[in-house]
Copies of this chain bind each other. A is one copy, B any other.
Amino acid sequence: MMEKRTQYCGLITEEYIGQEVVVKGWVNRRRDLGGLIFVHLRDREGIVQIVFNQEKNPELFELAENLRHEYVIEAKGMVVKREANQINPNIKTGTVEIEVSQAAILAKSKTPPFTIGDDQAVADELRMKYRYLDLRKEKMVQNLKLRHQTTRAIRNFLDETDFMDVETPYLTKSTPEGARDYVVPSRVYPGTFYALPQSPQLFKQLLMGAGIDRYYQIVRCFRDEDLRGDRQPEFTQVDLETSFMSAEEIQSLTEAMMKRVVKETLNRDIKTPFLRMTYDEAMNRYGSDKPDTRFGLELIDLQAFAEETDFNVFKQALANGGQVKGLNLKGKAADFSRKDMDGLTDYIKKYGAKGLAWVKVTEDGLNGSVAKFFANDKEKLVQAMDAEPGDLLMFVADKKEVVAQSLGELRLKFGRDFNLIDQNQLNFLWVVDWPLLEYDEDLKRHVALHHPFTRPKEEDIALMTEDPSKVRAQAYDIVLNGYEIGGGSLRINTRDVQEKMFDALGFSPEEAKEQFGFLLDAFDYGFPPHGGLALGLDRLVMILAGEDNIREVIAFPKNGKAYDPMTKAPSEVSDQQLQELNLRLTVED
Contacts and interface: CB of A to CB of B under 8 A. Distances in A.
A192 B152 contact: no
A241 interface: no
A188 B561 contact: yes
Interface string A550-569: 00001110100111101111
Interface in A147-164: 147-148, 151-152, 155, 159, 164
Interface string A163-192: 011111111111010001111111111111
Contacts of A245: 4
Given A173-B567, A555-B203, A212 B144 contact: yes
A135 interface: yes
A159 B106 CA distance: 27
A460 interface: no
B583 A171 contact: no
A483 interface: no
B244 A132 contact: no
B167 A220 contact: yes
A192 B572 contact: yes
A340 to B, nearest CB: 37
In the assembly, how many copies of this chain are there?
2
Interface string A100-114: 000000111110100
A454 interface: no
Interface residues of A, number: 126
A84 interface: no
Consensus secondary structure, chain A interface: loop
B74 A244 contact: yes
A183 B577 contact: yes
B206 A529 contact: no
Interface in A497-542: 518, 522-529
A586 interface: yes
A321 interface: no
Contacts of A159: 152
Interface in A71-126: 71-72, 74, 106-110, 112
B563 A112 contact: no
A135 B415 CA distance: 51
Given A159-B152, A210-B136, A106 B194 contact: no
A309 to B, nearest CB: 49
A362 interface: no
Interface of A: 1, 4-5, 8, 24-27, 42-44, 70-72, 74, 106-110, 112, 130-136, 141, 144-145, 147-148, 151-152, 155, 159, 164-174, 176, 180-196, 202-203, 206-207, 209-213, 220, 222, 224, 233-234, 236, 243-246, 249, 493-494, 518, 522-529, 554-556, 558, 561-564, 566-574, 577, 579-589
